[in-house]
């Protein structure tokens, strides 16, 4: 392809961007709506305010607040905070409170604006891009929820099965006067491999644990397949959808 054709493609893209960017004045704050979409397919917006030293660009807290509303609080532990900051710092973006922000001058505004948008997209897509982190973060959510409700538990326990193999369980709630031992797993994405793993671990360990119960927390930020839930429950495993966790806490706190 000749250079002139390449230049025309670039100009076409720049024109497309320009046509799809809109602005609004909100009491002296410039709201910029971009053509870039977040995970909800909503157009991403940033807000620009003049300061004594230049310009302050922020997402007004939308990115982190949206994740928190979905049950993911990236500021709840030092490890999560470090994970978030490792992403934002790569774009030169600061985190203040729940805002992602940068400071700019008129000269470097385009570059700084682009950096902020990149950071917003990276944080917004953090769990989609790194599924292993989803599992870790969801497990932390479950632990924090149980801890806040006063549930006693042991963290990350290996238990021997009838086969002689050890099986890892995220949490174990000890027996009480009214309830037996409860084994707890946190599953961020329930798929067929997870079903097979849960069922095998439970059927292998159960004969060695007396009247123990098994409870599985399921992240339902995205729809959970009823057939897979039914398959898990058919083996006597109790499933708890994250959105309905308050309804099940009594069975774990007793």
> Could you tell me the residue ranges of all domains in the chain?
3-129, 131-253
Q: What is the pLDDT of residue 171?
A: 94
Q: What is the pLDDT of residue 3?
A: 75
Cβ atoms within 10 Å, residue 30: 15
Cβ atoms within 10 Å, residue 4: 7
Distance between CA atoms of residues 182 and 48, nearest Å: 52
In a structure prediction context, what are the per-residue pLDDT tens digits for the chain, which is 254 residues long?
677 888 888 788 788 888 999 999 999 999 999 998 887 889 999 999 999 989 999 999 999 888 877 666 777 667 677 878 888 998 899 999 889 999 999 999 998 998 999 899 888 866 554 455 566 778 888 999 999 999 999 988 989 988 888 888 999 999 998 999 999 999 988 888 889 889 989 999 999 998 999 999 998 877 899 999 999 999 999 999 999 999 989 888 87
- Domain range 131-253, CATH architecture: 3-Layer(aba) Sandwich (3.40)
Helix (H, G, I), strand (E, B) or coil at 149: coil
Distance between CA atoms of residues 143 and 141, nearest Å: 5
Nearest residue to 30 via CA among 98, 121, 104: 104
Predicted TM-score of the model (pTM)? 0.56
Q: What is the pLDDT of residue 91?
A: 87
Q: What is the pLDDT of residue 189?
A: 82
């Amino acid at each position: 392809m000749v250079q002139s054709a390449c230049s025309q493609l670039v100009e076409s893209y720049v024109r497309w961007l320009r046509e799809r960017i809109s602005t609004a004045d909100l009491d002296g704050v410039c709201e910029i709506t971009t053509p870039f979409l977040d995970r909800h397919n909503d157009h991403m917006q940033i807000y620009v305010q003049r300061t004594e030293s230049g310009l302050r660009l922020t997402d007004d807290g939308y990115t982190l607040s949206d994740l928190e509303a979905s049950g993911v609080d990236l500021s709840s532990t030092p490890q999560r905070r470090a994970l978030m900051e490792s992403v934002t710092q790569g774009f030169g973006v600061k985190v203040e409170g729940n805002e992602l922000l940068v400071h700019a001058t008129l000269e470097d505004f385009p570059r700084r604006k682009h950096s902020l948008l990149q950071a917003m997209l990276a944080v917004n897509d953090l769990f989609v891009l790194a599924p292993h982190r989803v599992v870790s973060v969801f497990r932390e959510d479950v632990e924090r929820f149980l801890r806040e409700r006063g549930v006693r538990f042991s963290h990350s326990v290996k238990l021997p099965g009838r086969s002689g193999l050890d099986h890892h369980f995220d949490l174990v709630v000890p027996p009480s006067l009214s309830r037996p031992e409860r084994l707890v797993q946190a599953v961020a994405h329930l798929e067929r491999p997870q079903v097979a793993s849960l069922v095998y671990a439970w059927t292998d360990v159960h004969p060695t644990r007396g009247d123990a119960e098994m409870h599985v927390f399921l992240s339902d930020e995205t729809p959970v397949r009823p057939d897979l839930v039914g398959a898990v429950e058919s083996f006597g495993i109790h499933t708890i959808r994250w959105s309905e966790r308050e309804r099940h806490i009594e069975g774990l706190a007793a």
